Structures are given as C-alpha cells and as structure tokens.
C-alpha cells in the first residue's frame, strides 16, 4: 500500500496535528493505493489546458517561496509520463526560484482549474537547463508567437502527484472564457437590435402601420 503524495507530505509533525484534530483515523484505516508516480491521459489533458500554475521552492535559510508562472496555454509541457518542462521567461529579474532550486531541487506545483474547481498538486525535482543544453527540449517548450525573453529551461522529474477535492475553490473565469459564454448573448442582442431598428423604421415611414 502506498499513499504516494502523502508519503512525502505526512511528516511526524503533520501526523501529530492529524491526531490532535482527530483526523488520523482517516488515514490509519486507508486501504487504497495512491502511488501516483506516472501521469495518465487525464493529467496530460489537464496540464495541456493550463496557462498558469504556482510553484513552491525553499531557500537555504528554510523560508518557502511561492511563485506564479504564466504563459500561453499549454506552456507547461508533458515530456513523458514522468517528466515536465517549461520555458522560463524573463520577469522582474529577482531569480528567487532559480536560486532556490540551485540549492534545493525539490518543488511543489499547484495547477488550478477555477471554473471546474479542480486542483492538481505535484511534487517534483527541478533541473535548470541552458537553452543550448537540449535542442529538442528547447524546441518543445518554445512558443515563437509568445513575445517574451526566454532565459532558460526548467525540467521537472515527477516524484508524485495527487488531486484535491473541490471544497473552498471559488470559481473564477478568464476574459476569454467569459467572452465565449457571452458571445451567443451578444449575437442575439445584435439580432434583436437590428430587428428593432427595422420595426422602428417601418413605424416612422409615411403610410406604414
């Protein structure tokens, strides 16, 4: 039996808090198998549809750092069923995550689908690569239509992943998602306005009833 993601996350102090809150029995009696160490088609589709994610690192002084990474939809690439990669674009040039990963390659990613209230969390080891280190990988993660300065490649080796429940995830929608929903309404409104103009013209025309 394996807890997968929880084998890593459940430290002695975490188990102590679970016991304090009366939640330890939920996991003590767990009989399933959660060794999620390879991405399936479900995760592949979910990852390909994301245009952002959150990634956590830990500094040499023990402080955590969470960074939002964004790009064109699907910029986080599935290289194979145990490997991810993404292009690291120039930002504010603080390089906190890059520096943290140089000292400690462990990372935790949260991928959010707010409209569907879904959340995929991933433990991985991170490797920083120069753009000329792996030409095939650089080509895979490069989007020539995305106008940003590409500085390096991050390759992530999967340790484990898990899905979270929907509780407390507030649905949020991007501009393009809202536009897709209201497009039929705008189209219908334009049609009604056109009909209204035609009817008004007939009413105002001499001899028209």
Bridge pairing between strands 77-80 and 83-89: antiparallel
- Is the alpha carbon torsion for 39, 40, 44, 50 positive or negative? negative
Token couple for 93? 């040039």
pLDDT averaged over consecutive 10-residue blocks of the chain (209 residues)? Answer: 79 90 78 81 97 97 95 95 95 92 97 95 97 94 90 96 90 89 92 91 75
CB–CB of 161/5 below 8 Å? yes
CA dist., res. 23 & res. 207, Å (int):
81
Q: Which fold has domain 36-172?
A: Pnp Oxidase; Chain A (2.30.110)
Instruction: Quote the pTM value.
Output: 0.84
Domain boundaries, the chain: 1-33, 36-172, 173-209
CA dist., res. 30 & res. 7, Å (int):
13
What residues have CB less than 8 Å from 73, skipping those under 6 apart? 48, 49, 50, 51
């Amino acid at each position: 039996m394996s807890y997968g993601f929880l084998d890593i996350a459940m430290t002695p102090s975490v188990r102590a808090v679970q016991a304090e809150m009366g939640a330890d029995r939920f996991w003590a009696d767990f009989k399933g198998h959660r060794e999620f160490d390879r991405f399936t088609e479900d995760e592949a589709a979910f990852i390909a549809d994301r245009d952002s994610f959150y990634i956590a690192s830990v500094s040499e002084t023990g402080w955590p750092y969470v960074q939002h990474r964004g790009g064109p939809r699907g910029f986080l690439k599935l290289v194979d069923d145990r490997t991810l990669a993404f292009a690291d674009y120039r930002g504010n040039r603080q390089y906190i995550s890059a520096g943290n990963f140089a000292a400690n390659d462990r990372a935790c990613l949260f991928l959010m689908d707010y409209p569907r209230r879904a959340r995929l969390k991933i433990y991985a080891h991170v490797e920083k690569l120069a753009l000329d280190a792996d030409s095939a990988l650089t080509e895979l993660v490069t989007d020539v239509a995305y106008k940003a300065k590409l500085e390096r490649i991050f390759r992530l080796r999967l340790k484990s992943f898990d899905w979270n429940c929907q509780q407390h995830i507030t649905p949020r929608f991007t501009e393009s998602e809202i536009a897709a929903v209201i497009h039929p309404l705008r189209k219908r409104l334009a049609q009604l306005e056109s009909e209204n103009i035609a009817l008004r013209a007939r009413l105002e025309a001499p001899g028209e009833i």
